[in-house]
Structure 1
Amino acid sequence: MNLFYRILIVFTLSFTAFSVEPGSFEEKAKAYKWQLVPDPSLPNVLILGDSISIGYTLYVREMLKGKANVYRPVANDKPLNCGDTASGLRNLEAWLKTQDVKKWDLIHFNWGLHDLKRIQPGTHYKEARDPSAAPVRSVEDYEMNLQKLVTSLKATKAKLIFATTTDYPKGVVPCRLPVDAQRYNDAAEKVMMTNKIEINDLYKFTQPRLKELQMPVNVHFSLKGSYIIAKEVSDHIADKLNIKDLKFDSFSKMNQAMRK
């Protein structure tokens, strides 16, 4: 897939949880098929998360090619942003039926980035630039929703890995306070520890390298940043599924393969 289209997907889907607006973007997005043609002999992996995870999903799929079938929820062959925890509670049942998969061997999941963003007073989701505005969801409600989601995910009997919310600089729009990333991650970690769920600490992994991996004044990562995060995600998945001898192509070679 043309790399421009991948950047466009990440930016567009960061502003909507479930669909994209019609028009030229839809036509360009058709340049890559997000639906997977699976190998029935391989374990099934589902990635749930926000636009950060959209950025690394295709890399993870390529890295685990021949080792696991890597899915994420899609609509009209476009990747879905799983949004905040309320969106997760509304849609998890449907997402667990992605491409009619009957059994998930592993689910790698994240919520938080859309729960902690600031919204305009008196609205439900209208994004704010004012740091004094309230978040979409308090950290207490986020923790409560996350526990409900974990209960549903555990019922699938799949192996579970939770990814912490990645850090971001001051001044991003819509407003997110950098201190909130750690606060919401702390709440999430309590839920995961209580439920004995493995944590892939992408916050800790990326935080010292934000200038190298992340776009300027943005929550999103560059293509190279997404590739590096995908290696970490793939390592966690492979370890959990006891996949051996995982080898990664170089960034340039992998992008060439993805464009085919």
Structure 2
Amino acid sequence: MKTGYSILSVVAVMGLLWGGSAEVKGQDAATNKPEVKKKVDAQQRANAKTGRNAAAKKPVRKPNPAFEPPQVVDGLPNVLLIGDSISIGYMVAAREKLKGVANVWRPTTNCGPTTKGVESLDSWLGDRKWDVIHFNFGLHDLKYMGPNNENLADPESASSHQQVPIDQYAANLKKIAERLKKTGATVIWRETTPVPKGAKGRVVGDSKRYNEAAAKVMEEVGGIQVDRMYDFAIKNVENLPANVHYSQEGSKKLAEQVARSVKAAIESRAK
């Protein structure tokens, strides 16, 4: 019986193998040709440049000056301002108004609703000895959320709900007020500013309702001063755009009110 292949079959197979190897070698050689290599290098440089340009065009967010720590002056009282974006807006101007009177700090975040306050208060207080604490929660509690927690939902929608209902708001606020009082600082509750007509995701008049609930809490806790910011803001409504935030001039007006209440608290502690 014959067990080998014919000479012609062997030659044919070797030819195929040799041809395939030659083809691969030819591809490698083509890639390494000077003109092809130049094109590849040029494309790589172009891709790298595009990446650098994209990175360069990406805006760099500047640090918010409201979150910067104060230039501490030894011997001055330490003041902590707690609140949402309204307080962030007046922070720098309030610090300037209290220059030489107090070292003014705030948490490096938007303090949001009372739920966040209950969770984060101890970290915001830290281990510093506070003389005056001026605080507010409200606008983030009373705003409406969608069924999937969409922010600033339509209050008229049956599927919308306030982020923190007023009863829960009062319970949370009581916990916060009691904790702040334990610090030994003079504690000032700052009323929530008004919701103007046209504000998205909020209802005109809700600030007043939540302030009334807060007033009962402060009376129950006792020993807490009140910054009547709601009435003050109503008088400066021209500085309020069609949302809850203030113009730069409006924030400066609020800062004046904050500074007055803080100064009065410091003076009362000195007596």
Q: Scaled by the length of structure 1, what TM-score is found?
A: 0.75
On the 8 A contact 1:131/1:177 being kept in 2, the answer is no
State the alpha-carbon separation in 1 of the partners of residues 203 and 104 from structure 2: 32
Pairing partner for 2:259 from 234, 240, 249: 234
Whether the 8 Å contact between 2:65 and 2:92 is mirrored in structure 1 is: no
Alignment equivalent of 2:144, drawn from 118, 123, 126: 118
Q: Kindly, what percent of the aligned residue pairs are identical?
A: 40
Confirm or deny: 8 A CA contact 1:118 1:131 kept in the other structure: no
Q: C-alpha deviations, 1:103-148, integer Å up to 9, x for none?
A: 0000000001000000002x34643134342100110000000001
Verify the 8 A CA contact 2:79 2:130 in the aligned structure 1: yes
**2-structure distance, mates of 1:39, 1:125:** 44
One-letter identity of the residue aligned with 1:118: Y
Q: Secondary structure at the match of 1:193?
A: helix
Q: For CA contacts below 8 A with separation 6 or more, give which structure has more relative contact order.
A: 1
Once superposed, what is the RMSD of the aligned Cα atoms? 1.8
Distance 2:182 2:67 in 1: 30
SS of the equivalent of 2:236 reads helix
Q: Distance in 1 between matches of 2:211 and 2:195?
A: 13
Q: Shift in Å at residue 155 of structure 1?
A: 1.1
Match of 1:87 among 116, 141, 146: 116
How far off its partner does 1:35 sit?
1.9
Larger radius of gyration, structure 1 or 2?
2
SS of residue matched to 2:146: coil
Deviation of 1:169 after TM superposition, in Å, equals 1.4
Aligned partner of residue 29 in structure 1, secondary structure: coil
1:145 aligns with 2:172: yes
TM-score, structure 2 normalization:
0.73
Q: Give 3-state SS (helix, strand or coil) of 1:152's partner.
A: helix
Q: Supply the distance in 2 between the matched residues of 1:159 and 1:85 (Cα, whole angstroms).
A: 20
Instruction: Report the equivalent of 1:178.
Output: 204
Amino acid aligned to 2:69: Q
What is the alpha-carbon distance in structure 2 between the residues aligned to residue 90 and residue 150 of structure 1? 13
Q: Which runs of 5+ in 2 are unaligned?
A: 1-57
Q: Deviations over 1:190-237 (max 9, x none)?
A: 111122311111111111331x2212x110111111111111110110
Q: Give 1:109's aligned amino acid.
A: F
